[in-house]
Every structure is written in C-alpha cells, then in structure tokens.
C-alpha cells in the first residue's frame, strides 16, 4: 500500500506542473495533440537513455559473447585536467552535450515531417524538454522519497518542477530556434535579404568554399544552437555545484532567477515573432512551389523600392 501511495504522490507532483507548463506554451502556438503526445514521450525516452547510460558508468555490460565497460567521461576528464574547477565545468559540459543532443535528436526524428514554421520547431523542442524534465523529476522524487522530511521534499519538488524544468525547456527552446532557422535556411535567407539584412561573413565563405548560402547558413545556425544550449546547460549545473559567492550572496540564487524569469521571457518572445509563424514548410510543396515563393518575395521587394522612390520624388515642404 505504501509502495503504491508513494508512486501515486510522486506522479501527481511531477505531472501537475508539467501540464501547466504545456498549457502555458501551447496556448501561444497550438499543435496537433498527437504531435504533442509523441514529442513529450520522446523527451521522456531521451531522459531514460541518459539515465541508463549514467547507471552503467561503474559497471561492465555483459553482451553474452563479450563484455564492455561504458565510457565514464567524468573519471577521464578529471584524470586529464589538473585544475579542479575547470575539470568540474568540463564534466558538466559533457553532461550538457549528451542531454541536449539526445533530446534534440529524438525530437527531430519524431517531428521532422511536421515542421511548417520555425515556431513549430521551437514548440516541439520545448515539449521534448518538458518530457525530459518530467521523467527525470519522477526518478529524482522516487530516489529522495524517505530521505527528506515532508517540508524538505516539498522544497526539493518545487525547485525541480520550476527551476530545473525551465533550464531544460530553455536550452531545448534555444536549440529548437536555431534548428528552425537552419531547417528553413533557404526561405529565411530570402526573407532576410528582402529586409536588407546582409551577411558579409556568409558571402565571404560562399566565395571562398563555393557552397550555397543556404548550406553555410544551415551549418552556422546548427553550430550556434548546439554550442549555446550545451554551454548554458553546463553553466547552470556548474554554478549550482561549486557554491561560489559574490558579495556574500550565493551565485546560484541570481543565476536560478535569471534562468527562470529570463528564460520564460525569452521563449515567449521567440514564439511571438511574426516571422517565426510564417508557414515556411509550405514552400516547395504543391501549395506554394519554391519558384512562386521567390516570385512573391521579388514582387514585395519591387513594391517596397517603388514606394521608396515615390516618397523620395515627392516635393518637400518649404521650411
């Protein structure tokens, strides 16, 4: 009876805030319920994969015909780097690399055929992050059940379902944004060109390596997204683990507040951008062939130039 009661309580403590987070982000950009469900389950699967891997760090896996020892990058990094602080950050960077990459890969695998806009990609990445945090929270809650007082468990649960969940959601959302920019590289470049947003470095690389602008732009966005999400994840874990203080104030307190409030504001702003709602996934289909899209952009650009010329030719009132 106690076993069942524990699991019911843990599930409710984890699922209620997850449902609230889902509602808050999905009300800004609705998706098919099946896309939401499978993406959330995919995020949970990503967490399961990471936890299984971490669980075998100190064990040998018997594969019947042979045995293998999984790579424990913690010990390897700590043995290679003398400085303890640098080694600790490198370990957390490794954790960030694993978690963000697995979350991203599973989200991409599930949803790649459903992306119609950049907001679709961002929202799916956020949902995958919520699924990851949900499963991870359940495991942590079960592990801490009985080890903490009622008040201590409540405080731990609040911390996990707010701050830690937002860290996963923020890092996933950032990677989702840059992957969306990469996924729709060709139409996004045309839109930016129409807005007269130039990319001199992109042009230099195009002339140097003789690749299409969209290919270079795709790779650039992917690198930026992966590096940012992984480093931000590592910074959070590192600050919470080392106990640094600034003017007597623990550094993790402002960092937690920044990630929580700043993260929610940043993701909300991304989902409100008009360009991110454009149905770019229709470009290249029967609904909007790519040639028609290019023609439309050219017509808009010609119209803007015509309006600018007419405004210039108008006689100016005497001062």
Mean of pLDDT values over 286-300: 69
- What pLDDT score does 202 carry? 60
117 band by pLDDT with thresholds 50, 70 and 90: confident
Average of per-residue pLDDT values in the chain: 80
| CA separation for the pair 194, 280 (Å, rounded) | 15
CA distances from 208 to 182, 186, 220 (A): 21, 19, 15
pLDDT digits (tens, 9 = 90+) for 19-51: 988 888 888 777 888 999 999 999 999 999 888
The whole-angstrom separation of Cα 61 and Cα 317 is 84
Question: Which pLDDT does position 123 carry in this prediction?
Answer: 92
Q: What does the pLDDT average to over 130-157?
A: 86
Q: Please indicate, yes or no, if residue 253 is contained in any of the structural domains.
A: yes
Is position 318 within any domain? no
Which segments of the chain are extended strands (E)? 60-62, 67-69, 245-246, 249-250
Domain membership flag for residue 305: no
77 domain-assigned: yes
Q: Per residue in 254-266, pLDDT tens?
A: 888 899 999 889 9
| pLDDT over 60 (residue 210) | no
> Does 193 reside within a domain?
yes
267 located within any domain: yes
Whether residue 276 is contained in a domain is answered as yes
* pLDDT at residue 1 is higher than 50: no
- Alpha-carbon distance of 231 to 93, in angstroms, equals 6
Domains contained in the chain, number = 1
**Smallest Cα–Cα separation from 171: which of 112, 234, 119?**
234
Residue 44 has a pLDDT of 94
For 160, the 3-state DSSP assignment is helix
Tell me: pLDDT of 319 over 60.
no
Give, in order, the Cα–Cα distances in Å from 248 to each of 236, 240, 242, 253: 19, 15, 14, 12
Dihedral Cα 113, 117, 118, 119, nearest 10 deg: -100
Instruction: Specify the pTM.
Output: 0.80
Give the angle 150-15-257 at the CA atoms, nearest 5°: 70
In a domain, 140, yes or no: yes
- How far is 20 from 27, CA to CA, in rounded Å? 11
Q: Which two tokens stand for residue 256?
A: 């937690």
Instruction: Render the burial of 4-22: b for 16+ CB within 10 Å, e for the rest.
Output: eeeeeebeebbeebbeebb
Which residue range(s) make up the domain with 56?
2-295
For residues 185-211, average pLDDT: 65
pLDDT at 96: 85
pLDDT at 58: 60
Q: In this structure, are residues 294 and 190 in contact, taking their beta carbons and an 8 Å threshold? A: yes
pLDDT at residue 176 in the model:
93
């Amino acid at each position: 009876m106690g076993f069942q009661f524990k699991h019911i309580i843990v599930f409710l403590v984890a699922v209620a805030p997850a449902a609230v987070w889902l509602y808050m982000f999905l009300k800004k950009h609705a998706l098919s319920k099946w896309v939401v469900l499978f993406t959330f389950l995919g995020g949970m699967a990503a967490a399961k994969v990471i936890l299984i891997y971490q669980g075998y760090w100190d064990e040998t896996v018997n594969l019947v015909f042979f045995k293998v020892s999984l790579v424990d990058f913690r010990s390897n990094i700590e043995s290679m780097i003398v400085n303890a602080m640098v080694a600790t950050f490198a370990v957390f960077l490794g954790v960030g690399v694993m978690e963000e990459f697995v979350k991203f890969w599973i989200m991409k695998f599930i949803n790649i055929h459903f992306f119609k806009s950049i907001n679709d990609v961002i929202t799916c990445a956020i949902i995958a992050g919520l699924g990851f945090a949900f499963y991870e929270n359940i495991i942590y809650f079960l592990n801490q059940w009985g080890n903490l007082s009622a008040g201590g468990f409540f405080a731990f649960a609040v911390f996990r379902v707010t701050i830690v969940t937002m860290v996963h959601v923020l890092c996933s959302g950032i990677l989702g944004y840059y992957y969306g920019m990469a996924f729709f590289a060709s139409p996004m470049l045309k839109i930016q060109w129409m807005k007269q947003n130039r990319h001199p470095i992109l042009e230099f690389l195009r002339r140097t390596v003789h690749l299409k602008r969209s290919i270079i732009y795709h790779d650039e966005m992917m690198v930026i997204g992966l590096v940012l999400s992984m480093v931000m994840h590592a910074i959070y874990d590192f600050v919470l683990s080392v106990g640094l203080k600034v003017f007597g104030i623990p550094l993790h307190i402002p960092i937690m507040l920044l990630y929580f409030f700043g993260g929610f504001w940043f993701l909300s702003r991304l989902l409100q951008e008009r360009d991110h709602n454009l149905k770019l996934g229709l470009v290249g289909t029967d609904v909007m062939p790519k040639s028609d899209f290019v023609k439309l952009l050219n017509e808009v650009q010609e119209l803007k130039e015509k309006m600018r010329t007419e405004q210039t030719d108008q006689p100016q009132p005497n001062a």
